[in-house]
């Protein structure tokens, strides 16, 4: 067990190391930009074309350039996401490959070239972006961050701005200013050209992080006012994923509500009054199975205890070992599910079962036989799980999440990252839920002599503090569950980073609906509702504390035989402690009488 715990810790640490290495692999930014010449050509549509020529020193691999919108967004008050199209990229005069990625929802990064040798290089880059200038009633503004995207020291910088066709000189004084983390640190004036263009030159070297922002404005008429169709297209581009997610969320909520009303609504509950007998003809396991709409180990234990109560099984101690022995009582006198269970445990005739670790396969076979019988004979008659309706809702959620993410993605790389993380989170969430549910079931069904200690929950941190094999097993399981959960949180953080916040929130909302209605969809039939109400009334009798009120209903006399007869049902209903407490005086009196 210690070796298993060690392997668990090694596996967790190995996965952490792999993720750390993967997260540390990034494209290289230039270490120094010795000169930058940028030509910005404006168009009547509001688009701009940027041609950059840089002499830079890089550490090699891939050259990374941010496509920043921050300055334009602040000045124009716009949250739009323009599209970017690279037309040409070359290093030292040779065309190179490039790709776009989205490190965060509000930022794009352009990776240029592969296997770039370290040293001095000349980079030529041309790209176009739309919606960079949106015309209003008073004209259109331009704000372009010429150097901040490189995040490297710039020794010399020059920016040439070409006006829209026919615009001439800008309406406002063309110029630039330098920003850093503190604020504006310098202002520069533009040098006007013959054709309305103007040039900005840096007066001193710029430090890494300094941003040379060029600004200008032209009167109305030279930049076209967007038409209704253009604005509709922009709206779909900017908010299509959110709209898709909202529509999908509404469809999902409507579907679940309709499906729940059709098949998931329980029949009305009747008045619950104390009953002195369990539901007629039902074993403890059948009653518990219908009440919970699921099977667990307690149902098997309750039926095994009921076999002893009915005299079909005796319990003896032989050589310090517990032995279960089948009596000669015919199987036909037992409830059908207990017949199946007894035949699997003891064979078709009399037999004995010595309770050691060698008997585990036999006990598991008996439990499996009981579960199979209950699933076959009770599920459709007494309740329905309606898993098909739940799976349809999950399918709607997944398709909506895929479409919303694809509509919101700005690049192919970001779309692939979104889909990969969505698929991984879907599978990993199911794995985490399974691991934790298994661990909780183990804790709930632990023997009373081995209570759960805080060390069990601390998992890998406390494996060395566990003293028994059972506690070591619990600690190993807890460490595995926490390891799975840790990676789930890492994946969820990456998903929220890749997806925009509204889309991620909508995906979470759909997941919550799936979980809530997945729990609400199972429902009892009319017969199942009747059995559950009878079981609840019987549970009132088994655990009632108001003795005077119960005496008024004339309950059966409390005898040791009555305690033994109903104890399996009390175990099935989870009130065995309360039922046993009611017979404390009776048991003490019988003990005193037998000792005299």
DSSP, res 494: H
Tell me the pLDDT band of 337, cut-offs 50, 70 and 90.
very high
Question: Do 465 and 538 lie in a common domain?
Answer: no
Most confident range (mean pLDDT) of 117-131, 353-367, 404-418 is: 117-131
Picking from 167-176, 420-429, 545-554, which range would have the lowest pLDDT averaged per residue?
Answer: 545-554
Question: Do 194 and 107 lie in a common domain?
Answer: yes
What is residue 448's predicted lDDT score, i.e. its pLDDT?
40
Question: Do 515 and 536 lie in a common domain?
Answer: no
Averaged pLDDT of the chain: 79
What is residue 194's predicted lDDT score, i.e. its pLDDT?
76
Tell me the pLDDT band of 164, cut-offs 50, 70 and 90.
confident
Q: Any residues with CB less than 8 A from the CB of 254 and at least 6 apart, and which?
A: none
What is residue 78's predicted lDDT score, i.e. its pLDDT?
47
Antiparallel, parallel or unpaired: β 198-201 and 157-162: antiparallel
Per-residue pLDDT, averaged over 385-390, amounts to 92
- Reported for 437-440, long-range contacts at CB under 8 A and 24+ positions apart, including other chains, are 438/477, 439/477, 439/478, 439/481
User: How many distinct structural domains can be found in the chain?
Assistant: 3
- Residues 523 and 263 sit within 8 Å (Cβ to Cβ): yes
Question: Do 191 and 110 lie in a common domain?
Answer: yes
CA distance 494 to 255: 30
Q: Report yes or no on 278 lying in a domain.
A: no
Question: Do 372 and 393 lie in a common domain?
Answer: no
Per-residue pLDDT, averaged over 439-443, amounts to 70
Question: Do 457 and 570 lie in a common domain?
Answer: no
Q: Report yes or no on 429 lying in a domain.
A: yes
CATH of the domain at 169: 2.60.40
Given 179, 198, 226, which residue is the final one in a domain?
226
What is residue 317's predicted lDDT score, i.e. its pLDDT?
82
- Give the tens place of pLDDT for each residue, 50-68: 999 999 998 877 888 877 5
Three-class DSSP category at 478? helix
Question: Do 62 and 207 lie in a common domain?
Answer: yes
Instruction: List C-alpha distances in Å: 124 to 39, 62, 202, 220, 509.
Output: 12, 14, 20, 33, 46
Range of the domain at 354: 284-384+524-582
Picking from 44-53, 188-197, 286-295, 437-446, which range would have the lowest pLDDT averaged per residue?
Answer: 437-446
Q: Report yes or no on 249 lying in a domain.
A: no
Q: What are phi and psi of 174, to 5 degrees?
A: -75, 140
Question: Do 151 and 219 lie in a common domain?
Answer: yes
- Give the tens place of pLDDT for each residue, 462-490: 333 344 555 556 667 777 778 888 888 88
- Helices vs strands, H then E, count in the chain: 18, 20
Residues paired with residue 170 on neighbouring β-strands, in sequence order: none
Q: Report yes or no on 335 lying in a domain.
A: yes
Given 520, 547, 564, which residue is the final one in a domain?
520
Given 226, 247, 267, which residue is the final one in a domain?
226
Q: Report yes or no on 270 lying in a domain.
A: no
Question: Do 375 and 300 lie in a common domain?
Answer: yes
What is residue 192's predicted lDDT score, i.e. its pLDDT?
79
Q: Report yes or no on 271 lying in a domain.
A: no
What is residue 561's predicted lDDT score, i.e. its pLDDT?
81
Question: Do 109 and 194 lie in a common domain?
Answer: yes
* In the chain, % of residues over pLDDT 90: 27
CA distance 373 to 329: 21
Q: Report yes or no on 589 lying in a domain.
A: no
Instruction: Answer with the residue of higher pLDDT: 142 or 299.
Output: 299
Question: Do 395 and 378 lie in a common domain?
Answer: no
Q: Report yes or no on 221 lying in a domain.
A: yes
Question: Do 221 and 129 lie in a common domain?
Answer: yes
């Amino acid at each position: 067990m210690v070796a298993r715990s060690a392997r668990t810790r090694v596996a967790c640490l190995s996965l952490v190391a792999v993720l750390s290495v993967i997260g540390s692999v990034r494209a290289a930014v230039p270490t120094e930009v010795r000169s930058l010449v940028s030509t910005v050509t404006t168009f009547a549509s509001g688009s701009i074309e940027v041609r950059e020529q840089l002499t830079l020193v890089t550490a090699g691999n891939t050259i990374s350039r941010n496509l920043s919108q921050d300055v334009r967004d602040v000045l124009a008050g716009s949250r739009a996401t323009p599209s970017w199209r690279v037309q040409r990229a070359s290093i030292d005069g040779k065309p190179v490959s490039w790709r776009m990625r989205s490190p965060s929802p509000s930022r794009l990064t352009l990776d240029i070239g592969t296997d770039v040798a370290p040293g001095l290089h000349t980079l030529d880059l041309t790209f176009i972006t739309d919606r960079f200038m949106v015309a209003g009633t008073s004209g259109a503004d331009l704000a372009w961050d010429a150097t901040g995207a490189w995040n490297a020291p710039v020794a010399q910088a020059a920016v040439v701005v070409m006006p829209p066709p026919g615009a001439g000189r800008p309406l406002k004084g063309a110029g630039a200013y330098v920003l850093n983390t503190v604020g504006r640190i310098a202002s520069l004036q533009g040098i006007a050209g013959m054709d309305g263009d103007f040039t900005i030159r840096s007066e001193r070297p710029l430090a890494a992080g300094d941003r040379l922002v060029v600004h200008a404005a032209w009167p109305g008429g030279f930049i076209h006012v967007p038409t209704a169709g253009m604005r509709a297209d922009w709206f779909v581009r900017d908010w299509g994923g959110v709209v898709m997610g909202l529509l999908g969320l509404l469809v999902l909520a409507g579907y679940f509500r309709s499906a729940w009303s059709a098949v998931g609504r329980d029949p009305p509950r009747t008045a619950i009054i104390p009953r002195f007998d369990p539901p007629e003809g039902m074993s403890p396991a059948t009653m518990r199975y219908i009440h919970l709409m699921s099977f667990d180990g307690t149902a098997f234990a309750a039926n095994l205890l009921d076999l002893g109560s009915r005299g079909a099984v005796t319990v003896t101690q032989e050589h310090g070992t517990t032995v279960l022995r089948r009596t000669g009582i015919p199987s036909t006198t037992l409830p059908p599910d207990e017949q199946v269970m007894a035949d699997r445990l003891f064979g078709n005739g009399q037999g004995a079962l010595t309770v050691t670790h060698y008997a585990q396969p036999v006990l598991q076979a008996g439990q499996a036989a009981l579960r199979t019988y209950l699933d076959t004979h009770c599920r459709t008659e007494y309740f329905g799980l309606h898993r098909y309706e739940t799976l349809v809702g999950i399918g709607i959620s997944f398709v909506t999440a895929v479409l919303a993410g694809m509509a919101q993605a700005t690049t192919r790389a970001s779309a692939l990252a979104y889909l990969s993380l969505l698929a991984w989170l879907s599978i990993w969430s199911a794995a985490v839920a399974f691991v934790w549910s298994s661990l909780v079931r183990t804790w709930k069904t632990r023997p009373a002599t081995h209570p759960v200690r805080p060390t069990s929950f601390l998992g890998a941190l406390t494996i060395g503090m566990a003293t028994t094999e059972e506690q070591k097993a619990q600690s190993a399981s807890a460490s595995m569950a926490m390891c799975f959960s840790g990676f789930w949180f890492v994946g969820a953080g990456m998903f929220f980073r890749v997806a925009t916040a509204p889309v991620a929130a909508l995906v979470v909302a759909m997941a919550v609906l799936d979980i809530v209605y997945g729990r609400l969809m199972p429902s009892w039939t009319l017969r199942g509702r009747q059995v559950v109400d009878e079981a609840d009334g019987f549970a009132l009798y088994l655990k009632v504390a108001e003795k005077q009120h119960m005496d008024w209903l004339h309950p059966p006399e409390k005898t040791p035989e009555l305690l033994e007869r109903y104890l399996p049902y009390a175990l099935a209903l989870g009130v065995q402690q309360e039922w046993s407490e009611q017979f404390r005086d009776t048991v003490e009196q019988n003990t005193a009488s037998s000792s005299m």
